[in-house]
Amino acid sequence: MDDSSGLSFGHISYVTLESVLQVVIVAFSGFWCAYTGLLPKQGQKVISRLNVDVFTPCLIFSKLARSLSLAKILEIAVIPVFYAMTTGVSFMSGKLMSRILGLDKDESNFVVANSIFGNSNSLPVSLTVSLAYTLPGLLWDEIKDDNRDNVASRGILYLLIFQQIGHVLRWSYGYNTLMRWSGDRGHPSIASVSEQLEVPDSEAGRSETPSGISARSYSSLYKLKGKVMKMWEKIQAVMNPPLWAMVISVFVASVHPIQHEFFSKNGFINNTLSDAIKELGALSIPLILVVLGSNLYPSQDTPQMTRNHKKMVLGSIVGRMILPSCFMLPVIALAVKYIKVSILDDPIFLVCGFILTISPPAIQLTQITQLNEFFEAEMASVLFWGYVVLSLPISIFGVTAAMTVLKWAA
C-alpha cells in the first residue's frame, strides 16, 4: 500500500475541482453556442438523435465488448447488487419527494427518473481517473505489484458495468415510461400501428378481397397481421440503438475468438472496423456535454410546462443527491469495513461507490426529454442546479468522506 499521510482536505478539493472543471468547460462551449444562436433548439435535437442512434452505441460497444469477459462477469457480481440497492433507495426517495410536494403522475415520474438515473459516465469517470493518479492510499494489497494504471483501469471497469446496467433501465423503463407523457395532461400517446390496421368484421366483409379468399378469412389474416405488428412494436419500444449495442457487446465479449478478432489481434478488423467504432464513440461524451450546456441557456422555444416547475426541480435534486446519500453512504462504509468479499476490499471501489451515490442526474436525460418533448425546461433547471451549483461542493464532500471511510476501514 502507498502512504496515505499526504492526504488532506485541500488536496482532495483541488483534485476534485480539476475533474469537475473539465466537465464545466466543455459544457460552457454548448452554452455559448446556444447563446450566440449557433446551436438552436432544433440543432440540439438533431445532435441528441445522432448521439442516441450512432455515437452512444459505438461508445458502449468499444468500452463494454473490449473489457468484459466471462471471468470478470463473475468477479464483479456485487455491482448489480449495489446498483439494485442504490436504485431502490433512489426510487423511494423520488416517490417520497413527489408525495411531499403534491405532484401529479407525470411530474412524479419526472422526479423519480431524475432520482434513480444518476451520472455514471462523464463526471464520475473523469473524477475517478484523476483521483486514481493523484490520491494516495488507493493501491489494493491483494494484487501483486499494483500500480496507478491498474487502479484507474479497475475504477473505469466498475463504473462501466454500473453505467451499462443503468443504460438498460434508462433506455427502457426511463425512455418508455417515466419520461414520456402518460396521456393525462393533453399529450395523448400515438396510436399503435396494429390499432390502425385492425378493422371491424363488418368493414372487412364489405372490402374487396383477393379471389378465392372469403371475407371472414381475409379479416382473420388482417387481424393476424395486426397482432404481428403489435408484437414488433413492443420489441421496438424496448429495444433501441444503445440496448442493441449492449446485446451485441455481451455476445462479442462472451465469444473469445470474436472478441480477440475485434480488439486483441493486430489485423484488418481491429485496424479498420474497431478503430472506426472507437473514433465514433469518442464523440459521445463531448457532444452530450455540449447539449447539456446548450440546454442550460434559457430558450423561448422551451416553455415552462407546469406551474410546479420549482417543486419538480427541488424534488429531483433532493431525491437524487441528498436523500439516497443519507442511507447508502453508511451502508457502503459498513460493507467495506466488515464484509471482506470480492471487490469490496478494493479502495477504488469505495471511491466509485461514493461518487456514484452523490452524482447529479444523468446528462443523457436531456436527450430523452428532447426526444419525447417531456418537461424540457424543468430538465434544464435540474441540470443547472445539479452541475453548476451543487456538483463541486457535493463532489468534494463525497470524495473526502470516501477517503475518511477508507482510513477507518483499513
pLDDT tens by residue, the chain, 410 residues: 444 445 567 777 777 777 777 777 888 899 899 999 998 888 888 888 888 889 888 887 887 787 676 666 677 778 888 899 999 999 999 999 999 999 999 999 999 999 999 988 777 877 787 788 877 778 887 777 788 878 887 887 788 778 878 888 888 888 888 888 887 655 544 333 334 334 444 444 444 455 555 566 667 777 777 777 777 776 666 677 877 887 888 888 888 888 888 887 778 888 899 999 989 988 887 887 788 788 777 666 555 557 888 999 999 999 999 999 999 999 999 988 888 777 788 888 888 999 999 999 988 888 788 888 888 888 888 988 988 888 888 888 888 888 888 888 77
Question: What φ, ψ does residue 164 adopt, rounded to 5°?
Answer: -70, -35
Cα angle, residue 279 at apex, residues 156 and 379 outer, rounded to 5°: 65
pTM: 0.70
Per domain, the residue ranges of the chain are 9-183+281-340+370-396
Cell 426510487, located at residue: 91
Q: Distance between CA atoms of 312 and 371, rounded to whole angstroms? A: 20
Task: Spell out a b/e string for 103-142, using b for 16 or more CB atoms within 10 Å of the CB, else e.
Answer: beebbbbbbbbbbbbbbbbbbbbbbbbbbbebbebbbbee
CB distance 260 to 184 below 8 Å: no
